Amino acid sequence: MITWSDFADAAPELAAAGRRLIYQRDVGEAFLATVRDDEPPRINPIYVAILDGHLLAFLARSPKQGALVHDGRYALHTHQDPAAPSEFLVRGRVRVVDDPAEREPAAAGWYFELDDSWTLFEFSIETAVLGERPDADAWPPVYSTWTAEAAAPRA
């Protein structure tokens, strides 16, 4: 699993820009896209956090939570500021975090009160894309892409 820390070590400028866009409203926010079987993708706004080198989110029992448990694939896209509409996207797979030693520190500092019905997910970073636009008139965006596959050393 490629953690946020692994990604940040491999692509520090891209990770710094991604962190800035995730936290552009002081709390970590993004849109989560999930898939399951042959159903259409689901897209929902969620709170996320980068804690101790891991990209995390707590999700309540819901179709999106069920899709992540069942399938594991995700895409996460930041919100856009209309005045400076840069965007950041990561894709990969999730890991359910059920070890209390990992869960409790994340829950202690979360944005809202949690109980045991909330599932903690860690998002692996397999692909990251940054589209930079300094203002609404700048088109097209300047894209930077990082993939774990391309960054892996060749044997």
Q: What is the pLDDT of residue 39?
A: 84
Name the strand (E) or helix (H) holding 2: none
- Residue 75 and residue 105: Cα distance in Å, rounded? 25
pLDDT tens, the chain, 155 aa long = 999 999 999 999 999 999 999 999 999 999 999 998 888 899 999 999 999 999 999 999 999 999 999 999 999 999 999 998 999 999 999 999 999 999 999 999 899 999 989 999 999 999 999 999 999 999 999 999 999 987 776 55
User: Model's pTM, two decimal places?
Assistant: 0.94
50: alpha, beta or left? (left if phi > 0; alpha if psi -120 to 50): beta
* Residue from 43, 41, 50 nearest 23 by CA: 50
- Residue 34 and residue 46: Cα distance in Å, rounded? 12
Q: How many domains does the chain have?
A: 1
Q: 74: which 2 tokens? A: 């995700």
CATH number of the domain enclosing 111: 2.30.110.10
Q: What is the pLDDT of residue 153?
A: 65
Give the contacts of 85 (CB within 8 A, at least 6 positions apart): 133, 136
Domain with 125, as residue range(s), is 4-151
Name the strand (E) or helix (H) holding 94: strand 87-97
Name the strand (E) or helix (H) holding 26: none
